Amino acid sequence: MTISAAALSLEPESRRSRQLLRTGNAEADAILGGGLPINSINIIMGAPGTGKTLLAQQLALHNATPDRPAVYFTTLSEPLAKVITYLQGMAFYDDRKMGSAVLYEDLGPALVSDGAAALVRCIAETIKHISPRIIVVDSFKAVHDLSTSTAEMRHVVADLAGLLSAYECTTFLVGEYEEDDIVRYPEFAAADGIIELARYKETTRDERYVRVSKLRGASYREGLHGFRITPDGLEFFPRLVSPDHPPPYQASLDRVSTGIVQLDTMLGGGLPRGTSTLIAGPTGSGKTTAAVQFCLEGVQEGEPALFLNFQENPTQLRRLVDALNVAHSGRAADWHAMYVSPVELQIDSLIGRAFKMIRDLGVRRFVVDGVGDLFFAARDPQRVHDYLYALGQHLAVNEITTIFTYETVLGMGHADPYGHALQFSALMDCILSLDIVASDRLRRTVCVRKLRNSAHDLRVRDLDITFRGLQIGGDRSP
């Protein structure tokens, strides 16, 4: 069974027939419920440097045509020349559209001369002579600095909203707003949509998120969604959510081999297809080796496998795969590895990329080696828990068998020092506990702590790591 595009569809079915303004980015459209309602007034807000201007320019360049151009008004923020200079460095920049499909105009002089009311007059003249499809005002918040009173600004906003509502034109008001401004400024009440961009500074990286706070007439995805700024523009990663009512599916009765004969016996014939397994244990207990054998066994059986890890770089992982001496016994094209440095790990982009690979490559076996790194990298551990739950639901529906490894200090037989395993172990269908115990010498052990709806071996057994992989020996139970 291959994962269907519909199962991982980015665009809700109910939105496909609606007349919407597309962003030019499928993931952004998914967050917006398919796109932005045409002829709407929208606010793009965020602190300086969060990507507001880039998002507005992407929207303008994607939708503008010479017959229905986009008009980009600058006010008293960045000079017009600087806006265009930085735009030219982006991959989505199209010189052929400049001056015909996309028009730029500096309103700064008119605003300084005539005050905030000049904004409505200039936009009215533009609509009359050009009939634009899109209008962008960047920065709209700067207009507040030129108003003589709150009452005057309310009149400006009311006049502008009335003018725009009378024409087929989608408008974006860009500004360096803060969250408290939503209840202070009148444009937020008049807006049909509010898109918030935020940047959180970590020690080694920045994490960027987008939130749709308001979008009239649309069923958008709530919550924080990751994004990053790239040479191609803004790249979005919709938050993975599990359906309110998971689609009915027939759970497979098949068992898949782990690639370790003795472990398959302990599990009663292997892992049930489409289930999620946690392998927990301290450093050196064999977690990664077990996960690699699981993937290689899938390759032997013609099941494409994806191995996602955060600690061992591709060269180190390749050395382990080659050492097992079975790396190429199946179709080499079915082995796929994805390495992400834990220093640069961002859960939203990670899950988005992994999901795309699973869908595009027809992956049947999936490994996340080092799930604890997700908790360490995330600002909110609850967010990781929710992601893992949603991920497990999607993988189960599509019969993708998954292994997560988690590093403990003392093994699952003792207290988990970080407390992370307790947050997601209940989500797992199977839990394998690896440990290193001291007697006359250090010994590795393995036991099956949990396997839903299945009889399994409850004994603790010896475990050895050999050049052929993991070998399980006799009973170590007291």
pLDDT digits (tens, 9 = 90+) for 130-158: 889 999 999 899 898 888 888 889 999 99
Residue 15 banded pLDDT, cuts 50, 70, 90: very low
pLDDT the model gives residue 329: 53
Q: How far apart are CA 273 and CA 372, in angstroms?
A: 24
Say whether pLDDT at 378 is over 60: yes
Three-class HEC string of 329-390: CCCHHHEEEEECCHHHCCHHHHHHHHHHHHHHHCCCEEEEECCHHHHHHCCCHHHHHHHHHH
Question: 322 or 423: which carries more pLDDT confidence?
Answer: 322
CA dihedral 213, 215, 220, 225 (to 10 degrees): -30
pLDDT in tens, 330-354: 567 888 989 888 777 677 788 888 8
Predicted local confidence at residue 239, as pLDDT: 83
The residue among 209 and 326 whose pLDDT is bigger is 209
pLDDT grade, residue 7 (50/70/90)?
very low
Tokens 């200090």 label which residue?
409
**pLDDT per residue as tens digits for the range 59-115:** 999 999 999 999 999 887 777 777 788 888 888 888 889 889 999 988 888 888 888
What does pTM read for this prediction? Answer: 0.77
Q: Does residue 396 or residue 174 have the better pLDDT?
A: 174
**Mean predicted confidence (pLDDT) in 417-440:** 77
Average pLDDT of 51-60?
A: 92
Distance CA 12, CA 31 (A): 10
Using one digit for the tens of pLDDT, what is the confidence trace for 219-251?
899 988 989 888 888 999 888 776 655 556 555
Give me the pLDDT at residue 293, please. 93
**Amino acid, res. 18:** R
- Going by their DSSP bridges, the two strands 335-339 and 305-309 should be labelled as parallel
For the segment 182-198, the average pLDDT, to the nearest whole number, is 93
Q: Which of 420, 348, 343, 344 is nearest to 382 (CA)?
A: 420
| Pairwise CA distance, residues 259 & 207, whole Å | 38
Intra-chain end-to-end CA distance of the chain, in Å: 44
pLDDT at 360: 92
In whole angstroms, give the CA distance from residue 427 to residue 366.
16
- The segment with the largest mean pLDDT, out of 39-43, 161-165, 355-359, is 39-43
* Token pair listed for 394: 């999607």
From residue 468, alpha-carbon distances to 120, 295, 314, 449, 474 in Å are 75, 15, 20, 25, 18
Per-residue confidence band for 476, with pLDDT thresholds at 50, 70 and 90:
low
- pLDDT higher at 164 or 7: 164
Whether the Cβ atoms of residue 276 and residue 404 lie closer than 8 Å to each other: yes
Can you state the percent helix, strand and coil of the chain, rounding each to 5? 35, 25, 40
The better pLDDT of the pair 456, 13 is held by 456
Flag whether pLDDT at 369 surpasses 50: yes
What's the farthest any 2 CA atoms get from each other in the chain?
Answer: 90
Residue 176 in contact with residue 143, Cβ under 8 Å?
no
More confident residue, 373 or 451: 451
Region 359-373: what's the mean pLDDT? 91
Measured torsion, CA atoms of residues 80, 127, 51, 88, in degrees rounded to the nearest 10: -50
The predicted structure's pLDDT at residue 419 = 58
Give 65's Cβ-side CA count (13 Å radius): 3
Mean per-residue pLDDT, 246-257: 71
Q: Does the pLDDT value for residue 3 go beyond 60? A: no
Mean pLDDT along residues 182-196: 93
pLDDT at 475: 64
Average pLDDT over residues 442-454: 90
> How many residues in the chain?
478
The rounded mean pLDDT for the chain is 84
